[in-house]
Structure 1
Amino acid sequence: MAFSAVLKSEWTKIRTVASTSWTLTTALLVTVAMGAGLCAVVNATFNDLPKEQQFTFDATQMSFSGMLFGQVGILIFGAMVVGSEYSTGMIRTSLAAVPRRANLLLGKVSVATGLTLVVGLATGFVSFFLGQALLGDHGIGLGGENVLRAVIGVGLYMALLALFAIGASMMLRNTAASIAILITFIVVLPIVLSVVDATRKIAYYLPNQAGSAIMQTVSASPSSSDVPYGPWGGLGIMALWALAAVIGGYLVLKKRDA
């Protein structure tokens, strides 16, 4: 099968499964809604914040504060893109139609991450403009220093997160297990490690901690100076995680039967 046909097939699978479409839509809506709500609260209580927090306030990142919840939708989407085929047995049909497993995985990854990138960019721009409007005098324009990079970074972050989820789910081949492990690793573990000084530096190198640096325009505090990378360096670390997950997924797909 030609690769263009593989892409068309994968697009059809994603488009015709309602659950995958809804998870992406939910990720966008939750991120925008949560970010807007928090921006409104901050605007109303800004003068009550400590002076240090006012000085280091990152208006741009505040628009994306809903990403903590929205990224769960991206993880579920990535898990379902793979898991739905294994749970229904459709993977056997897919492998029969596309015997070259590298092509099958590449097609799946290309379509899913491309779609997530589009949704992520939409999420970034809508979250930003709505959030800044609600921040009022405490907001910032798109032309501010590093602002456009941060807004576009939302799309890049979400695309890499989906890529990581697809690779990990290909290794696990079970939707429920993939979702549980991904949420624990991406959402819960960094919070737990960040609480303890001895493990905080480990958390810096986890996918979401590193990748989310691309959405920051202001250092959170003087203590953040021990973070060993900048915005693009952090995104690079996340990209390595995603690449490792996809390679692992390919090795499992290549060696195991459907």
Structure 2
Amino acid sequence: MTKGTAAVPAVPPLEPKARFGDLVAAEWIKLWSLRSTPWAFAATVVLTLTITVFGAIADAQHYTGYDADHKAYFRSFGTLADAFSRGASTMVIVGAGAIGAITVLGECTTGMIRTTFAAVPARTSVMAAKLAVVTAATTLLGVACAFGSYAAAQAVLAGQDVAVGLGHPGMMRLLLASVLLAPVSALVGMGLAAVIRHSVLTIVATIALLFVVPSMLDDRSHFGVSLVHMTIPQAWDRLGHAPASSPQWPWTVWGAFLVLAVWVLVAAALTVFTTNHRDQ
């Protein structure tokens, strides 16, 4: 440096921006660092399998008293219903919805979300990573519940020689719909949590939207049936069990898939983009 020349302060090198893969890894760690997460996953699986086993045991006990026609009907449709029942689907909806809500509320209610956004100002990327992690984790939850229920039911029904394989008509579609039920419900819980930001209100709203409201809808009119068809439980039921909620106004399998897709897109948009308009 020549005499009389002012010293130029050294400029610290800019830290590289967090890659999306890094954000996903961080969100995965945060998900499983919550004490409630393993318990919520385990409780959902255990309760789902319990409902399935007790239902299959009851049907297996009644099977010996059926006449020939009823036995034939059970072999075609009863085994399908026992593989993953409506009671099991309710448990997955409630459990996965609560898990999705908790993943957002865990940071928002403690204020840790401010620290996260201070470290990574790209809020949309953070929430997208959180969304990807929850989707992956609850999809695995759906696989465990659906195929675990199928295996448990067949083990029970094998005692009456009425167990069926995965090639049974409608079985794979039922299991696919049951697997999808978990991530769809979890994303709805995330979306509501991102909007409401209150633990009790979010859990109540999630259970009400996913379970209570659909059970209260009237399917005796075309308008009522249309509303029923827009619910997640009915979309799952259409894919797995029933041809329609009302034979007067049937709907298609692809229509049920479309309903699930719309729920996913709306919930994902609420989760990712509402944080841009909040103070935290």
Please indicate, yes or no, whether the TM-score normalized by the shorter chain is above 0.5. Answer: yes
What is the DSSP-based 3-state SS (H/G/I as helix, E as strand, rest coil) of the residue aligned with 2:217? helix
Tell me what 2:171 maps to: 147
Matched, 1:229 2:249: no
Matched, 1:208 2:245: no
1:16 deviation in Å? 0.8
Tell me what 1:13 maps to: 30
Report the number of matched residues.
254
Query: Which residue identity is paired with 2:142?
Result: G
Distance 1:176 1:53 in 2: 47
Q: Percent identity?
A: 27
What is the DSSP-based 3-state SS (H/G/I as helix, E as strand, rest coil) of the residue aligned with 2:203? helix
1:220 deviation in Å? 7.7
1:18 to 1:215, Cα distance in 2 relative to 1, 3 A: farther
Q: Which stretches in structure 2 are left out of the alignment for 5+ residues?
A: 1-17
- 1:62 pairs, out of 66, 70, 82, with 82
Distance 2:268 2:25 in 1: 21
Q: Write the mapping of 1:179-198 to structure 2, written as runs, cut at 5 A.
A: 179-194=203-218, 197-198=220-221
Greater CA radius of gyration, 1 or 2? 2
Q: Could you tell me whether the CA contact under 8 Å between 1:211 and 1:236 is conserved in 2? A: no
1:61 deviation in Å? 3.1
Q: Could you tell me whether the CA contact under 8 Å between 1:27 and 1:71 is conserved in 2? A: no
Matched, 1:128 2:153: no
What is the DSSP-based 3-state SS (H/G/I as helix, E as strand, rest coil) of the residue aligned with 1:57? helix
Tell me what 1:157 maps to: 181
Distance 1:52 1:210 in 2: 28
Query: Which residue identity is paired with 1:156?
Result: L
Distance 1:219 1:33 in 2: 27
Superposed CA deviations along residues 103-158 of structure 1, whole A, max 9, x for unmatched, are 11110010111011112112111100111221233332112123223223322221
Distance 1:152 1:103 in 2: 29
Q: Write the mapping of 1:74-89 to structure 2, written as runs, cut at 5 A.
A: 74-89=96-111
- 1:167 pairs, out of 181, 188, 191, with 191
Q: Could you tell me whether the CA contact under 8 Å between 1:64 and 1:128 is conserved in 2? A: yes
Query: Which residue identity is paired with 2:53?
Result: A
Tell me what 1:71 maps to: 93
TM (normalized to structure 1)?
0.89
Distance 1:227 1:220 in 2: 5
Q: Could you tell me whether the CA contact under 8 Å between 1:26 and 1:70 is conserved in 2? A: no
Task: Report which stretch shifted further, 199-208 or 121-130.
Answer: 199-208
Query: Which residue identity is paired with 1:2?
Result: R
Q: Which stretches in structure 1 are left out of the alignment for 5+ residues?
A: none
1:142 to 1:257, Cα distance in 2 relative to 1, 3 A: same
Distance 1:135 1:190 in 2: 31
Matched, 1:31 2:48: yes
The answer to which structure has the higher helix fraction is: 1
What is the DSSP-based 3-state SS (H/G/I as helix, E as strand, rest coil) of the residue aligned with 1:257? coil
